[in-house]
Structure 1
Amino acid sequence: MTALPLRPELQGRSPYGAPQVPARYRLNTNENPHPLPDELLADLGAALGAAAVELNRYPDRDAVALRTDLAAYLSRSGTAVTAAQVWAANGSNEILQQLSQAFVGAGRTALGFTPSYSMHPLITAATGGTFVDGHRRADFTIDVEAAVAQVRDVRPDLVFVTSPNNPTGTAVALETVTALHDAVDGVVVVDEAYAEFARPGTPSALTLLEGRPRLVVSRTMSKAFGMAGLRLGYLAADPAVVDALQLVRLPYHLSSLTQAAARTALAHTDALLATVDAVKHERDRIVAALPGLGLTSVPSDANFVLFGGFADAPAVWQALLDRGVLVRDVGLPGWLRVTAGTPEETDAFLTALGEVVAPAHLGGWAP
């Protein structure tokens, strides 16, 4: 059989995906564990029913009403954002893909600081570009001087900065973002998928947008809003960036139903974000419990915790799964990642983890 003529830069790669294996407690994909409030579900039914009446017509290809609502939500943080500065797509992944299509592409380069979101290199390759690894320190922070020197040398067309970072949870200082922006002529994308979970005093890169037309801040409704199944991501940037993305977006890329559901969810912002503090409490509870188990964690501004100190992380992953708890093996030797869930899920995780690591304190543990 003749092999498919797959593009060389895609050959040998694996598609993105987290293992979806049966488990009572699924703490591997950073979802918000809290169900949507009843009043939102009722309004969603009505909104989707109204939108369905005109499904024979194409949706608003520019999603103007949705972008207006998203701008109003972002402006609540104290940084004024207009609808002309906002763009929306099917999850933040499509936002990142459109950015790569517009500003990277064949013969161009994107740079990111790994370990970070594993889709950044894949999106770069899928759009024909070359991904350069900027690396991080052993504590998973970015060495600003080294990073600035590297971007000046590489001169990437796009720089990914994930804050809070996935899978480590670490936030990136705004001084680092500005230093990178000022050192490169390309677009700097600050991926803030987990921004709403940041600890007090952690500012958003939204505050840096004014006067920086090459700076982009991407967000999602999948995490804090608990709408992972909706697939709605968005960005804030200079209006010229939004205009550029309309050159590469597919026609009518956001369905009428998606736009209606997202606008309805935004009308219930306060109720949806009321769960954020509860998730942060469980995150901090996990962090506080780990030293007592002889483990360590990375300070987290997200809804998950990277924890480690294992000689054989995959074996620990399997031992936890055997006890009904599914966490994420992110491929970092000695480390695993757990999503902050409900109190019941945290109890189950800590109990299972205690059972797994307790023998190690006595020496010679192997699951």
Structure 2
Amino acid sequence: MTDFPPLREELRGLAPYGAPQLDLPVQLNVNENPYGPSPACVADIATAVAEAAGSLNRYPDREFTELRTALAGYLSRDTPHGIAPEQVWAANGSNEVMLQLLQAFGGPGRTALSFAPTYSMYPEYARDTMTEWVTGHRESDFSLDLDKAHALVEEVRPSVVLLPSPNNPTGTALPPEAVAGLCEAVGDGGVLVVDEAYGEFRRSGTPSALELLPDHRNLVVSRTMSKAFALAGARLGYLAAAPEICDAIRVVRLPYHLSAVTQAVALAALRHAPELLGRVDDLRTERDATVAWLREQGHTVADSDANFALFGTFADRHAVWKGLVDRGVLIREVGPDGWLRVSIGTPAEMTAFKQALTAVTEEGLT
């Protein structure tokens, strides 16, 4: 008797990706922005969606020209060179952006490379596109040894290199020279993707990889509106790259992949960028205070340019995680053994986290 359904053999027995979803008072496990859009932004979104609803019998602009122009204008603030609309691509969350990149540039007989610890969805994108997955390793402080990284690129000759910066789950940002050097090592035989999902949270003086785009035509810089823009529920991710790369992705995109409603919501949010990003400064301040507090308690904490902090190390991190859950606080078991990751929430949420972790520590669960 054959197994049903006739799933691909390499997918049998696998569970779908997802962080635990528990109904707890304090949820600090998936790096959401705790501050929702302002009333003015909500009203603008509602108006924009209502206008879009009047023509939902028609397909949306499949090239989302207005949105690409608005995103290019927003990204141009992070580079003195500016970004043109034809350098921008968007999709349903940065997850779909990454999948499209693997569909276009990965595939059978090709290899994708990253350096662990890294975002746990990357190997799934490779698996789903039948791309060979290879991981190098970061140093103990989660930085990259550039000599080792270059050697691995020379050995593997990857078609796609995925580098989150700030890194998820560690929060570590890459210096520009690391990105530039690896772009040169990869050459025209591949693309190097710098995943800046948390780019807006980087500390002062940490540049964006967008500044390097004019010098490296194989460089892709991706962003999302889920984090800094507080639009996780809208599902809008995007990238900046050479026009040739954007045109290549158009070959694999599904028809009309961005709905008229999604485009309207994203455009409305971009009109309110200054007020939405104002909360980013609050979260940076809260992040730095949380990192300092954790270190004062004797924990090791990775330097973070994101809206989360990775801390440890624990002999039994699950016991610590469970102790926090029992006290109404949900964080994430992710990253290397012994480490935990806490998203940065409101001051009240972070106070609840600190009180819960202190209680867990006093019980000796750490």
The residue that corresponds to 1:122 in the other structure is 124
CA RMSD of aligned residues (A): 1.1
Please give the per-residue CA displacement for 1:231-276, whole angstroms capped at 9, x wherever unaligned.
Answer: 0000000000010000000000000000000000000000110100
Shift of 1:12: 4.0
Instruction: Provide the C-alpha distance between the structure 2 equivalents of 1:237 and 1:117, rounded to a whole number of angstroms.
Output: 21
Please give the per-residue CA displacement for 1:138-183, whole angstroms capped at 9, x wherever unaligned.
Answer: 2211111000000000001100011000000000111111111111
Instruction: Provide the C-alpha distance between the structure 1 equivalents of 2:365 and 2:328, rounded to a whole number of angstroms.
Output: 18
Instruction: Provide the C-alpha distance between the structure 2 equivalents of 1:366 and 1:229, rounded to a whole number of angstroms.
Output: 35
> Where in structure 2 are the equivalents of 1:53-132 lying within 5 Å?
53-77=54-78, 78-132=80-134
Count of aligned residue pairs for this structure pair: 362
Shift of 1:15: 1.9
- Which of the numbers 317, 342, 346 marks the counterpart of 2:346? 342
The residue that corresponds to 2:297 in the other structure is 293
Tell me: CA distance 1:331–1:203, structure 2 relative to 1, closer, same or farther (3 Å).
Answer: closer
Instruction: Say whether 1:51 aligns with 2:52.
Output: yes
- Normalization by structure 1: what TM-score? 0.97
Instruction: Provide the C-alpha distance between the structure 2 equivalents of 1:143 and 1:13, rounded to a whole number of angstroms.
Output: 33
Shift of 1:109: 0.5
Instruction: Say whether 1:251 aligns with 2:250.
Output: no
Instruction: Provide the C-alpha distance between the structure 1 equivalents of 2:365 and 2:90, rounded to a whole number of angstroms.
Output: 48
Tell me: CA distance 1:179–1:233, structure 2 relative to 1, closer, same or farther (3 Å).
Answer: same
- Specify every segment of 5 or more residues in structure 2 that has no aligned partner in the other structure, as ranges: none
The residue that corresponds to 2:37 in the other structure is 36
The residue that corresponds to 1:146 in the other structure is 148
The residue that corresponds to 1:157 in the other structure is 159
Contact 1:10–1:126 at 8 Å: present in 2 too?
Answer: no
Q: What secondary structure is seen at the aligned counterpart in 2 of 1:76?
A: helix
The residue that corresponds to 2:274 in the other structure is 270
Instruction: Provide the C-alpha distance between the structure 2 equivalents of 1:38 and 1:366, rounded to a whole number of angstroms.
Output: 43
The residue that corresponds to 2:139 in the other structure is 137
- Which of the numbers 218, 227, 231 marks the counterpart of 1:227? 231
Instruction: Provide the C-alpha distance between the structure 1 equivalents of 2:212 and 2:40, rounded to a whole number of angstroms.
Output: 36
- Which of the numbers 236, 239, 242 marks the counterpart of 2:246? 242
Instruction: Provide the C-alpha distance between the structure 1 equivalents of 2:360 and 2:222, rounded to a whole number of angstroms.
Output: 38
Instruction: Provide the C-alpha distance between the structure 2 equivalents of 1:346 and 1:256, rounded to a whole number of angstroms.
Output: 37
Fraction of identical pairs, as percent? 56
Instruction: Provide the C-alpha distance between the structure 2 equivalents of 1:287 and 1:331, rounded to a whole number of angstroms.
Output: 17
- Specify every segment of 5 or more residues in structure 1 that has no aligned partner in the other structure, as ranges: 360-364
Shift of 1:331: 4.7
The residue that corresponds to 2:22 in the other structure is 21
| Bigger mean CA offset, 3-12 vs 147-156 | 3-12
Shift of 1:59: 0.2
> Where in structure 2 are the equivalents of 1:165-180 lying within 5 Å?
165-180=167-182
Instruction: Provide the C-alpha distance between the structure 1 equivalents of 2:97 and 2:81, rounded to a whole number of angstroms.
Output: 21
Instruction: Provide the C-alpha distance between the structure 2 equivalents of 1:358 and 1:169, rounded to a whole number of angstroms.
Output: 28
Please give the per-residue CA displacement for 1:96-118, whole angstroms capped at 9, x wherever unaligned.
Answer: 00000000011211001111111
Shift of 1:5: 3.0
